[in-house]
Amino acid sequence: MAFLIKNSTSQRTAGSTGVGQATVGQWIHVVRPALAFPQTTNEQLFRVYGGKILVHLLMGTVTTVVAATDPQLSIDGYALNAAGAVVGSVKAIAATADTKDAEVGGIWVVEGDGSAFILATAGAAYIGSQNGKWIMPQGEIVLVAAASQTGAAKWDLFYQPLDEGAYAVAIPTATVKI
C-alpha cells in the first residue's frame, strides 16, 4: 500500500510567483502480521533490499496482552551485503523498553534514535520529537528479546526508498535473524 502526502509542512523553496512550491512525497506501508514474541532470541521484522530507505514510522500494535512479569524488548538494525552477510556494526534503533502490562491495542512507536520505544495505551500514541524518521540501509530490522516473553504484536513500517530499486518486505513468520 502507498499513499501520497501533498503540501507537507516541510520547508518550501520560493517559486517564480513567490508563494512557494508544493511538495509531494510517497510513503510505502508494509505490515508484518501479528506473531507471538520471540523466546530468548532475535527475530526479523522487516528486510530491506536494493539500497537505503527513509523510515518515516515504525510502530507495533499489541494484539495479545503482555504479562506483568515479562522483560523488555528492543529493535536493532543490521546492514547486509548483496549476499546477505552482515557488514559493519549492529545499530540500536530502539533501546530496551519496558513492555510489561501492555494492553491489547496499545501502541509502541519507534523513534529510530536509539532511545526506548514510546509506549502508549490503546487510547492514543505520542509520536515524539524525532517523528520516527531514520535511514535504514539494505539489511534487517530485528526485534530483540533477551528472555522469554508473552504477548504478540503486529508491526507497521512506513517508508520511502532513497536508492532506486530499494524496498522493504515484512518477514511474515518467526524467522531468526541472520
| Domain coordinates in residue numbering, the chain | 30-170
C-alpha cell at 162: 532513497
**What pLDDT score was predicted for residue 9?**
52
Give the C-alpha separation, 52 to 56, whole Å.
13
Query: How much is the average pLDDT of 16-32?
Result: 69
C-alpha cell at 123: 487510547
**What pLDDT score was predicted for residue 50?**
95
Read off the pLDDT of residues 95-116 as tens digits, 9 standing for 90 and up. 877 677 778 888 888 888 888 7
Check pLDDT > 70 for residue 123. Answer: no
Whether 54 and 133 have beta carbons less than 8 Å apart is answered as yes
Check pLDDT > 50 for residue 18. Answer: no
Which helix (DSSP H) or strand (DSSP E) does residue 57 occupy? strand 53-64
Whether 90 and 162 have beta carbons less than 8 Å apart is answered as no
Read off the pLDDT of residues 30-46 as tens digits, 9 standing for 90 and up. 999 998 877 777 889 99
